[in-house]
Amino acid sequence: MAPVSSIASHVQQRIADALTAALPEAGAADPLLRRSDRADFQANGILALAKKSKANPRELATQVVEKITAGDLLADIEVSGPGFLNITVSDKAITETLAARYADTDRLGVAPKDKPGITVIDYAQPNVAKEMHVGHLRSAVIGDALRGMLDFTGEQTIGRHHIGDWGTQFGMLIQYLIEHPGELAPAEEVDGEQAMSNLNRVYKASRAVFDSDEEFKERARKRVVALQSGDEETLKLWQQFVDESKVYFYSVFGKLDMEVRDDEIVGESAYNDLMPETARLLEESGVAVRSEGALVVFFDEIRGKDDQPVPLIVQKADGGFGYAASDLSAIRNRVFDLKATNLVYVVDVRQSLHFKMVFETARRAGWLTDEVTAHNMAYGTVLGADGKPFKTREGETVKLEDLLDEAIQRAADVVREKAQDLTEDEIQERAAQVGIGAVKYADLSTSPSRDYKFDLDQMVSLNGDTSVYLQYAYARIQSILRKAGDTRPAAHPELELAPAERALGLHLDAFGETVFEATAEYAPHKVAAYLYQLASLLTKFYDQCPVLKADTPAQVENRLFLVDLTARTLHKGMALLGIRTPERL
């Protein structure tokens, strides 16, 4: 389908051309166009230009207006204030542009970018043998949304779920399993819940022996060595922990209505073979130095409490490699083997210092160059209604699955109340879409770096900035389209538009630009804000413009076309964020 350029971009071009004609020495000047309440758009760029060329801004503005070719696009241009331009576009241009978008069911006329890069996105990275917590929820939800947005812009994305599947705790776990065989059922025999409860039991029991029995501790330590040296029996048991955990991860991701591919689960352990070389390269190049037996990297500007430099530890004095070594090795893999041009990490803000040091080390080593961007999309903490980090009443971390189940339950209450004609099965199906959507949207609608309150009552509310409000907007349109029967949506560019139609139409036209901007800034909340505004403009439109009872048959068709395009845009935007839009609610 042919891509459609937005009205804003056409207006921008007309004014820029007129600016150059009126003031050739200005070259390609930016008219600084934005949406405005007074007219459709306002151009503010003339002020700065006039100042630069010592011209009178109002006079320059008037000259610019004289040079503008209005054509079919512009209905009115006036100079206002000290030298702004207020620009009104024609109704015809709005309807024709939207009709072209409507014809492209798939992409709404939004062209993918010319030169896509390769983004490796590190997200949804829980830890083996451990319960997932709300922080892991954020990484999964934000990462999945960002990926949807990147894909839509045409970027090639590769997911990496850097799960915590390595480390000394496995010595303890495996040793315990050797001494208590049969405590973990084979992975193919358990569901997610059983898997996690088995793992939890083994974790707690092994921890208890480890803390109380010195001899066990010693055996566990030896087991770590066996694991690291690739002992077959040890590795087999380690694999069992990983497989069992994956059963659990998949059940949570499934409940989250999120696709996770097995080939993209590439945990810390996957970089084991690279780590000795990573250390050697860093040491040989002098990027890392030996300090008290350990191999470390220092940074002038990063200092701890006592003003002592805080180093990044590449290799411990006992020869072991840790978290940093695996991340540094992962960078080499992602840049040199996967050919990434962008690296994104969706990780808790509490790991920001770690990533700062890792990126800087990789730069010094020459693994990160100007051709590759590295960005930590650091997200804030999930808070309870009391504003403190989210915990159960007993002060324990909340189980992710319980939380999702509760969201679905609350959603079922809302759905049941609204729709009396649904069967219980239908209610449950929609409740899952509404409840999970609510959890995702609440997370995505605030800037990721900010903490946010996990408040289920607010999340499933029908009013305000919630996914339920957006889903209702969508379902209501579907209901109107069903009621329209044989009358089909059709664009009528000859019709005059009401103010609420123009506002809705211009916002619809800005979908692609908004998604591109939000993606470039790694800001899913900007897509959420766009969708919320879209639903709000739709509500205003309903208040002022009857659809099925409009004055003429042509107007009915044109309004059906407008609401249908709104529905498609809502659907597309929500899908980018990983949220469903049920046809009925």
Closest by alpha carbon to 83, among 67, 95, 65, 107? 65
Q: How far is the CB of 187 from ligand ARG (least distance, A)?
A: 20
Q: Confirm or reject binding of residue 564 to ligand ARG (CB under 6 A).
A: no
CB of 322 to ligand ARG, least distance (A): 11
Q: How far is the CB of 282 from ligand ARG (least distance, A)?
A: 18
CA angle 306, 309, 312 (to 5 degrees): 130
Work out the burial of residue 194: count CB atoms within 10 Å of its CB; fewer than 13 is exposed, 13-18 middle, 19 or more buried.
Answer: middle
Least separation in angstroms between CB 203 and ligand ARG: 15
Bridge partners, residue 383, by sequence: 389, 453
Q: How many CB atoms lie within 10 A of CB 413?
A: 13
131 scored as a contact of ligand ARG (CB under 6 A): no
# of chain residues touching ligand ARG (CB under 6 A): 8
Task: State which amino acid sits at residue 385.
Answer: A
CB nearer to ligand ARG: pick between 81 and 322: 322
Q: Give min distance, CB of 127 to ligand ARG, in A.
A: 5
- Strands of the sheet containing 41-43, edge to edge, are 33-35, 41-43, 84-89, 74-80
Cβ atoms of 122 and 347 within 8 Å: the answer is: yes
Nearest residue (CB) to ligand ARG, 131 versus 465: 131
What one-letter code names the amino acid at 384? G
Q: Is 234 in the site for ligand ARG (CB under 6 A)?
A: no
- Find residue 118's DSSP bridge partners: 156
Min CB(345)–ligand ARG separation in Å: 6
Shortest separation between residue 327's beta carbon and ligand ARG, angstroms = 5
Q: Which tokens in the block code for residue 512?
A: 């692609």
Stretch that binds ligand ARG, among 77-85, 119-127, 170-178, 371-379 (CB under 6 A): 119-127
Nearer to ligand ARG, 330 or 528 (CB): 330
How far out from the chain centre does Cα 180 lie? 43
Amino acid found at 435 = G
Contact flags string 416-435 toward ligand ARG, x per CB under 6 A: --------------------
CA-to-CA separations, 307 to 297, 299, 354, 495, in angstroms, rounded = 16, 12, 18, 71
Of positions 127, 198, 376, 471, contacts ligand ARG by CB under 6 A? 127
From residue 334 to residue 353, what is the string marking binding to ligand ARG with x (rule CB under 6 A)? -----------x-x------
Instruction: By CB under 6 A, name the one of 143, 159, 164, 582 that touches ligand ARG.
Output: 164
Q: How far apart are CA 283 and CA 175, in angstroms?
A: 34
Among 162, 223, 430, 440, contact with ligand ARG (rule: CB under 6 A): 162
Which residues, 279 to 338, sit near ligand ARG by CB under 6 A? 327
245 binds ligand ARG (CB under 6 A): no
The CA distances from residue 565 to 90, 122, 472, in Å, are 19, 34, 16
Nearer to ligand ARG, 249 or 530 (CB): 249
Determine how β-strand 156-160 pairs with β-strand 289-291.
Answer: unpaired
Residues that bind ligand ARG (CB under 6 A): 122, 125, 127, 162, 164, 327, 345, 347
